[in-house]
Structure 1
């Protein structure tokens, strides 16, 4: 199957200056700057009937009125050099494409070069903060690929915006409170106080994958029966009979399998980096509608030997502790730490052959994005190419299943495939 990209147009806000922002610049928060400097890319597939391209354009213009930051461009403030968004309303890119196949032929969108063709390209130098590609299939189906820059919004905010686009196309009103873009909700204290060690964001050396190494990206389907068995095994072996989440148990299992497949030296330190949404952890809580980053990348870490030889219960508890430590005091300390730092360095580097970065899309309401003609038949990430990155998301098959997209070096992937379904 081939995808042919055609016309590219710029979509500007329907009503310039129509949201609650009266300023010309929105300064990014410390948590925005700490996010990975990359585009989050997601695919939505719809069966026929689907809305017209004009309806999608008009809906995007309407929703950009409420999310003007996405129609702006990055700039640096003259007085402090901090990165900000210029609310110049230059717009978002919309690319129109055609595919010479059907949605049924493409399901379940397994990793392949086709996935890269269904999302907007984002080569170095791209200035737009959001790019959209609308690809129509010969069956009348539609795939929408979205690329949104991570400095602007985390996963929660990204899917909130996308769902608002669906509302705009359906003709529903979009009610946004005046503080939706107010970065002062996450500003440092007047007297910054770093109370905790935020080693996750210190500059350290990592073991990078050789550039010539061949990577393999695959999706693994874990059904509800497998997940229940995995959780039961952990609960039976831990003395306190803790009820760990599906995410905690599955990431612990995958971390063990990946480290075993890599054949790493047992004395090496290995880390599982986990993005933690702080909206409900901060006091007072950050409102759900807030559009920005409220994420802290927390680490679970141990030696390779302890990880592989330790029980699944032991590794799950490491994951659990790395998540629960991120509370109000911890996040406020992190914001102040970033304020005191001369330069904010990101968390674990991508393409790291020692560690794992586990991103969760579980329970995000991405299947609520629709145009009144039927919900998407598939939602998932585009093809990932960073070694050690895994993305967990609700399977299109539903029934409590979880799909995991994994990128590893090719020899390691062959071993991982043999062990990841063993309990």
Structure 2
């Protein structure tokens, strides 16, 4: 995933309740942690031969750490999650913006080059910073990128990726110049722990055929996907992508620092879209089947395939923004672990202008939350459709 992640910005914000957060201690502990991450000092470059991504280490190009005063209520900001909680990152790989909020609350906005790290890596880095801030031992990362090197020629094609015919920067510049006012909105869809149990029972009826099991996460992602599909007018067939953390399947160290995310693609035909129990259960099973197809062998072959591509800096996911649906789950990955004397009241994405993506988060009050960025007209219909399913669980 290092290869294709360069088109995405990795952005994350933590919001903490009122407490004692001395700036000097935040700075001291941050730079102590940065000693363990030399790969964050420098910039990403693409090779002239095949466009492969690498990091040019430059001790002078160190991560940005910015402190600002922002006398706003932390609860309101946790609900609004505005983009300006994040730092503006130049060619640097990593930037942090610490905002001192009203009544002693705090927000930490993070922006990073996605080719260098994924969510799992960022959460471990943040947990280590919190531990250093509290005077505890840091978490040591594993920087051995050779664990994900190519092992030979690929055995299959990988239609989950696509090579664009022109430099991606040109496409991005064209999109920026032709874009009008923001046409997307962000909607939060939540289920409590009790509702999640009911949903899993819903998607795993006693009379289902053998081998049709769907986990709680499968069921939640399937439900979110069906609600989005049902909210579109007119409804149409589409595909969804599910980001898969490859660490466990590939036997990587749990502290592997990098981008070990792979992609599962699911098809959702128009006649499969709906909010009745059977269609939601089928969607959950499609999610499970996509995850099972993304085996260790598949992941290794993906690396081999990407390594053979002649213009790696032009490879993107074969997902159409505005038509398809991108899902990334940050649940169960330690998102809420970073502790700076208090646990966060919110940890997750800011509101982004992207039509058709969702981040699955562990909610601080328990349960799961999907932060969905979607076309405004679709977003207006999401809460009502979501509630209609909750009422039937």
TM-score calculated relative to the size of structure 2: 0.87
Q: Name the structure 1 match of 2:385.
A: 419
* CA shift in 2, pair 1:341/1:78, >3 Å: closer
3-state SS of the aligned residue for 1:148? strand
* Alpha-carbon distance between aligned partners in 1 of 2:145 and 2:35, rounded to the nearest angstrom: 18
- Contact preservation (8 Å) 1:45, 1:379: yes
The answer to whether residue 64 in structure 2 is matched with residue 93 in structure 1 is yes
- Contact preservation (8 Å) 2:263, 2:294: no
- Contact preservation (8 Å) 2:131, 2:138: yes
- The CA deviation at 1:48 is 3.0
- The CA deviation at 1:421 is 2.5
The answer to whether residue 270 in structure 2 is matched with residue 299 in structure 1 is no
Residue by residue over 1:314-369, the C-alpha shift from the partner in whole angstroms, topping out at 9 and shown as x without a partner, is 2111111110111121111111111111123121456x222111110111212221
TM-score calculated relative to the size of structure 1: 0.81
* Alpha-carbon distance between aligned partners in 2 of 1:238 and 1:48, rounded to the nearest angstrom: 49
* CA shift in 2, pair 1:348/1:54, >3 Å: farther
Q: Which runs of 5+ in 2 are unaligned?
A: 166-174
Which of the residues 175, 183, 201 maps onto 2:145?
183
* Alpha-carbon distance between aligned partners in 2 of 1:51 and 1:162, rounded to the nearest angstrom: 15
Which of the residues 30, 33, 49 maps onto 1:60?
30
Q: Name the structure 2 match of 1:255.
A: 225
Instruction: Using the TM superposition, name which of 228-237 and 151-160 deviates more.
Output: 228-237
3-state SS of the aligned residue for 2:7? coil
Q: Name the structure 1 match of 2:188.
A: 219
Aligned residues: 372
* Alpha-carbon distance between aligned partners in 2 of 1:80 and 1:118, rounded to the nearest angstrom: 36
* CA shift in 2, pair 1:235/1:333, >3 Å: same
Matches within 5 A, 1:2-401: 31-77=1-47, 82-89=52-59, 90-104=61-75, 106=76, 109-111=78-80, 115-122=82-89, 126-174=90-138, 176=140, 180-189=142-151, 192-203=152-163, 211-212=179-180, 214-236=183-205, 238-240=208-210, 242-264=212-234, 266=236, 268=237, 270-282=238-250, 285-308=251-274, 311-344=279-312, 345-349=315-319, 352-371=321-340, 373-398=341-366, 401=367
- The CA deviation at 1:151 is 0.6
Higher relative contact order (CA 8 A, sep 6+): 2
- The CA deviation at 1:238 is 2.6
* Alpha-carbon distance between aligned partners in 2 of 1:250 and 1:36, rounded to the nearest angstrom: 28
- Contact preservation (8 Å) 1:259, 1:354: no
3-state SS of the aligned residue for 2:44? strand
- Contact preservation (8 Å) 1:196, 1:330: no
* Alpha-carbon distance between aligned partners in 1 of 2:336 and 2:51, rounded to the nearest angstrom: 39
- The CA deviation at 1:377 is 2.6
Q: Which runs of 5+ in 1 are unaligned?
A: 1-30
**Structure having the larger proportion of residues in helix:** 2
- The CA deviation at 1:56 is 1.1
Query: What is the alpha-carbon root mean square deviation over aligned residues?
Result: 2.5
* CA shift in 2, pair 1:77/1:272, >3 Å: closer
Q: Name the structure 2 match of 1:22.
A: none
